[in-house]
Structure 1
Amino acid sequence: MKKTTVFRGLLLSSVAIAVAACGNLSKVSDEGFIENPVFPKISESEFNHDGSQFGSWPNWENVRQIERGMNKDQLYYLIGRPHFEEGLYGVREWDYVFNYRENGVHKICQFKIGFDKNMNAQSFFWYPNGCNGNASFNLSGDFLFDFDKDTLTTKGKEVVDNVAVQLKSSGAQQVKVAGYTDRLGSEAYNLNLSNRRANIVKERLIQQGVTAQIEAVGYGKANQVKACEGLKGQAEKDCLRPNRRVEISANGGLVKQSEGSNVAGPNGPAPLYQTPAYNSGK
């Protein structure tokens, strides 16, 4: 009898571990960061309608209320259950497939939420990044700054100049420049630094002949893209470099450095609610 009980216990533990492993496609840190998000195939969604459509048509006002720190019950109330076989135990990422219309055209965008070890939402991704954007502006740009500096590196200048050429050729009317820092330092310091960086890029675009209306905004520690756990000193500073960045959007389409890339990112059909609680990650 005792052996049977032990066997059953081991079996249940194995099942729980297997279910948890199946539920997490990406590597999620204890803090809820996902450095390389992995998205399931839309065709594997459990949320379908007789095979003719996959995913849901969400209430976008609810989607816009999502912020960092929310628990699973709050998210479930806003956007419903996740759309894939996430599992029952130890699941720290939820995936959704959202349908929407852009200029009368039916489009689909995937949405991922990463949870920390306490099961509070900490990271959010749209796939592909900027999936709501005009395809003609779906360019990319990460601009590199040295640590604690607001001066563009040589590589950064080259990228900004390249973006300026594309913005001018596209005829963009409105451009937004958003500056970000890593997580080191105070909130006030990082907000100030990110604002200076955004304005430096704005000035460079103007110098290169961009005549569109340009808005420059600093978001400080918001939207960390790399966690760098367990590192200290210079190694930590070097690892955090991707967080020290500026993102440019034109007419709703994210400007990226790697052309033709369908990477995941923070830009989708609905901007997430940017609150002090959400901005916790220089």
Structure 2
Amino acid sequence: MQAKRFGATALVCGVAVGLLAACGTRHVSRDISPDGVAAEVIFPAPERAVLKEGTFPNLDNLRQVGAGVSKEQLYHLLGRPHFREGYAGVREWDYLFHFRDAGGVTTCQYKAIFDRNYLAQSFHWQPQACAERLREPAANAAPAPTPSAAPRRFAISADALFAFARADAEDLQPAGRADIARIAGELRDPGDLRRVRVIGHTDRLGNESDNRALSQRRAETVRQLLIEQGVPAQRVVAEGRGAAEPVAGPCQAQQRAALIACLQPDRRVEIVAEVER
């Protein structure tokens, strides 16, 4: 069985992925943690790309990329990485993407960083403004929905859900599990339910990439629990917004413990249930 697995890995690395033949090439970002977060994110020089022309990515595929995707899944969504980073033992993949605008073509670099199990956990853009490409276009103006068609919103404090700075299912507080079960009970029957968005947020403490990764992991954990409670999986999506949408006050506290307490409202998970009009 081990021989078969080795052979399958060699086939993916050497044939199906083509330019991934340089398996095991070291990463360029520094101090990648077991959880898939780099102490310093470094992008390779664009001229070092193996696929020098880059690609025009499918935006719908890009929006499907999230914490926990495997290398095989990432390959099927985005294609092979564009730099000579390899497959086996490699902790990051880099891409050179182009987007066509009214004024011409914009080029962006995109990076996925993998955890110790080689599942992608954090994602980065250069320049950072390229991340806005993932936002879904605003819908055409439509008549105002009736009150019964307005999205249903549930907000749960992340501190009630998880231990501080944690995001996995085993870190959930009992009160958080109870809240998720209650919300799932209200969303279990599809009816006119169109989509459930699970949105993770953090406070401003820590760096941007860590906060974005933490918020994404929390949202993915809550999404999975809603599915386990009977909410249709195809209707539930997760996204992490880091510290981009704070709701706490100015919070000028000098001592860290007081500042953490003041920023508590920012550490939250929102569940937005959208219904058909």
- TM-score scaled by length of structure 2: 0.43
* Structure with larger RCO (C-alpha < 8 A, sep 6+): 1
Return the structure number with greater helix share: 2
- TM-score scaled by length of structure 1: 0.43
